Amino acid sequence: MNRLPILFDEITLLITHYNRSSSLERLLLSFEKLKIRFHAVVVSDDYSNDDHLKKLDLLKERFNLKIIQADKNRGLANNINKGQRMVSSPFTLYVQEDFVPNPEFAERLTDGLALMEEDVEIDLVRFYSHHKHPYLNPLIKGFYEMKFHILRRGFKQFWCYSDTPHLRRSNFLQKFGDYPEGLGSDKAEFKMAISFLQNKGKAIIHEDFRNIFIHENTISEPSQVSRKGFRKYIQSTDFPLLKYLRTIYRNIKFRLKYLFNPRLISINPKANNQ
């Protein structure tokens, strides 16, 4: 059965891009195959090289993209900030270029948008996660509210926000602050996750969070995030003692950051007037 095109006129698709134009094309083609259309498609580029910029020009014509370029490489946080400021619709679907939606995504997006329109307190609808959130309250249509309380056990509850694919209100920067620039992508994401909790953000996630999107890095266009040496080993090892110490460290660190770190503040007037 051929699916009719679906226009999400309330949503702008925001994609961050850096030197992975083939992955970007794959993502755009996947939305086209699913017959999903948006109010606009904004691609925020972080100073890709000439070969990828040439490909971006071709994709711009093919998919009617709005390309936001950079004068130098400034990192993922800046790339998200400058892209978000160009969004004029009430909602933003944020997806990095190395993700691909599965066929059920259209239904999940429709349901997630309906929940956000019904409940103005919902700031974020997540469609992907690397792990199951430990404290979930059931809603409807397979969605759960992600709950947080500083006195509860576990550090995974701190990740109500993540840079993985999600639908959010376009005044996100106004409520939670600009992404902190000049840091590595992991640190910037963590600071935003803390700010989300400090500012009482409300996030929901679908129970099928491992299958709505595929996270796929090709050999020709691998991940641009590199973790090296001892830090990489500590983050990935399953050695029991180190894993236990890592868990204790994160439980203490995350709580201290939540309690004592200054909240992120949006300093861009455009962000505050969305």
For the chain, domain boundaries = 8-223+253-272
Cα four-point dihedral sign 185, 96, 80, 76: positive
Which CATH architecture is the domain 8-223+253-272 placed in?
A: Alpha-Beta Complex (3.90)
pTM score > 0.75 for this model? yes
100: left (phi over 0), alpha (psi -120 to 50) or beta: beta
Q: For the segment 33-89, what is each residue's pLDDT rounded down to a tens digit?
A: 999 999 999 999 999 999 999 999 999 999 999 999 999 999 999 999 999 999 999
Answer whether residue 230 shows pLDDT above 50. no
Q: Yes or no: say if 59 and 29 are a contact pair by the CB < 8 Å rule.
A: no
Cα 185–Cα 186–Cα 192 angle in degrees, nearest 5: 90
**In the sheet that 66-68 helps form, which strands lie side by side, from edge to edge?**
66-68, 36-45, 6-17, 91-96, 166-169, 124-126, 203-206, 143-146, 136-138
Answer whether residue 143 shows pLDDT above 70. yes
The confidence score (pLDDT) of residue 244 equals 76
Mean pLDDT value of segment 194-199:
97
Helix or strand or coil: residue 205? strand
